[in-house]
């Protein structure tokens, strides 16, 4: 389907890509863009030919934040009754891995969108931050939770209370991103990781993603129990039988994703 605020394509076999496309606004996130983005990612998630997804912006900005002009006139009740960014961009509900390919600014809601993805590949120009404090508000789409889990309490406090920005190399050092690559290469690095995931059993990918995300929800004991559940579920799949046979027979597995 045609979109107004995003571009979609399949840059490589098994990979679906959604690109934020509001360059005049540095890809600022408004309601229409977020709705289109989730629609596109859901369509890719339901596409049997796609095994991994990429979310990206352009070289100058992944997304420089939420659209302040859209929010300025909103009241407390307006914000309460409207779907939040968390509701609109529920990547954790997708079965396939989602990689954020980040170049330039990833600030505010843009940083939160990247954090909600399963992996992040950054160009050397990437800048991460949560500058909501400058607007008299706080991050409202997972920033206080996901960023703290990623970099720890002390650094998260500094980033969100003093508007400290993280460079790509700092983000890598603190475990916020998976890879940093030159501007001309970062997209190919993201596509390469996506292809590696897409070539695996989608049954095993889904069960593994669910179990990893569960690690953030509660106690270690609960996480281990959930992992055990998904481990046993995997033994009921056709891909388990094929994967083990292929290993023993020293050949490439032929996944059916069932």
Among the ranges 90-99, 131-140, 149-158, 209-218, which has the highest mean pLDDT value? 149-158
CA 201/CA 237 separation, integer angstroms: 10
The mean per-residue pLDDT over the stretch 213-230 comes to: 85
pLDDT per position as a tens digit, 112-122? 999 999 999 99
Question: How many whole angstroms separate alpha carbon 232 and alpha carbon 85?
Answer: 34
Over residues 142-193, the pLDDT tens digits come to 899 999 999 999 999 999 999 999 999 999 999 999 999 999 999 999 999 9
Among 92, 158, 99, which residue's Cα sits nearest to residue 131?
A: 158
Kind plus residue range of the DSSP H or E element containing 9: strand 6-12
Which residues have CB under 8 Å from 239's CB, separation 6+? 201, 202, 203, 204, 253, 255, 256, 257, 258
Same fold, 6-198 and 202-248: no
Residue-level pLDDT at 86 = 64
Supply φ then ψ for residue 174, to 5 degrees: -90, 5
- Does residue 212 surpass a pLDDT of 70? yes
Q: What is the pLDDT of residue 231?
A: 85
Burial label for 30, CB within 10 Å (0-12, 13-18, 19+), is: middle
Decide: helix, strand or coil at residue 224.
helix
CATH topology of domain 6-198: 2-enoyl-CoA Hydratase; Chain A, domain 1 (3.90.226)
CATH architecture observed for domain 202-248: Orthogonal Bundle (1.10)
pLDDT at 84 over 70: no
Residue 69 has pLDDT above 90, yes or no: no
State the catalytic residues.
66, 109, 112, 132
Q: 3-state DSSP call for residue 130?
A: coil
Listed by start position, the domains of the chain span 6-198, 202-248
Among 20-24, 59-63, 79-83, 107-111, the least confident range: 79-83
Res 68 pLDDT > 70:
no
């Amino acid at each position: 389907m045609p979109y107004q605020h995003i571009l979609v394509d399949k840059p490589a076999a098994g990979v679906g890509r959604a690109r934020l496309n509001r360059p005049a606004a540095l890809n600022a996130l408004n309601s229409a863009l977020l709705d289109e983005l989730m629609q596109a990612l859901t369509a890719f998630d339901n596409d049997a030919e796609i095994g991994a997804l990429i979310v990206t912006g352009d070289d100058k900005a992944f997304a420089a934040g939420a659209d302040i002009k859209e929010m300025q006139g909103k009241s407390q009740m307006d914000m309460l009754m409207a779907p939040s960014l968390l509701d609109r961009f529920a990547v954790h509900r997708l079965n396939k891995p989602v990689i954020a390919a980040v170049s330039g600014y990833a600030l505010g809601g843009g940083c939160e969108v990247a954090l909600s993805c399963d992996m992040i590949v950054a160009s050397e120009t990437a800048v991460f931050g949560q500058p909501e404090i400058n607007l008299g508000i706080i991050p409202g789409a997972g920033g206080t939770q996901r960023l703290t889990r990623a970099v720890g309490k002390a650094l998260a406090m500094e980033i969100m209370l003093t508007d400290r920005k993280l460079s790509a190399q700092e983000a890598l050092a603190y475990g916020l991103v998976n890879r940093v690559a030159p501007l001309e290469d970062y997209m190919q690095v993201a596509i390469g990781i996506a292809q590696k995931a897409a070539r695996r059993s989608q049954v095993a990918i889904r069960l593994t993603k669910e179990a990893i995300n569960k690690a953030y929800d509660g106690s270690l004991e609960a996480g281990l129990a959930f992992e055990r559940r998904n481990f046993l579920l995997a033994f009921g799949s056709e891909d388990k039988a094929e994967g083990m046979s292929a290993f023993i027979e020293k050949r490439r597995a032929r996944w059916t994703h069932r």
